[in-house]
Homo-oligomer: A and B are copies of this chain.
């Protein structure tokens, strides 16, 4: 799960699509991989700015989309808030418990639920490709 591998995935994808290597891409990828979970575009923009003052917001946005396309990032939207992106590479699939009071996320995973979801889709003549399970409620601290 090294950053090198993630880097390879990204730049291989870039190459395959006939796109080009740029300093900005390197910087944005680096900042994203160094970031925590669930980063927003704004956060990433701010982070990249530290090492690359002249970068534009649109560039960060575009490249975050590219990372999503090639499978390194996943876009998640919670409620009406702005989009957040989380690292997919080197991270297992998981669902979210979302506290309605403090907004905190808890990552969870249940293999039984995963399997049942597959069956449920099958039973409806549906080929599942990905899914999103969000459970809203109150976390320990907030009650």
Contacts and interface: CB of A to CB of B under 8 A. Distances in A.
Interface of A: 77, 80, 97, 99-100, 106, 108, 110, 112-113, 116-117, 120-121, 124-140, 143
Contacts of A99: 126
A143 to B, nearest CB: 6
A125 B139 contact: yes
A121 to B, nearest CB: 6
Given A106-B124, A129-B137, 19 more contacts: A97-B121, A97-B124, A99-B126, A106-B126, A110-B120, A112-B116, A113-B116, A113-B117, A117-B135, A120-B135, A121-B135, A126-B137, A128-B135, A130-B135, A130-B136, A131-B134, A132-B132, A132-B133, A132-B134
A43 to B, nearest CB: 19
How many copies of this chain sit in the oligomeric assembly?
2
Contact of A136 (B100, B129, B135, B136): B129
Contacts of A121: 97, 135, 137
Contacts of A133: 117, 131-134
A69 to B, nearest CB: 14
A104 to B, nearest CB: 10
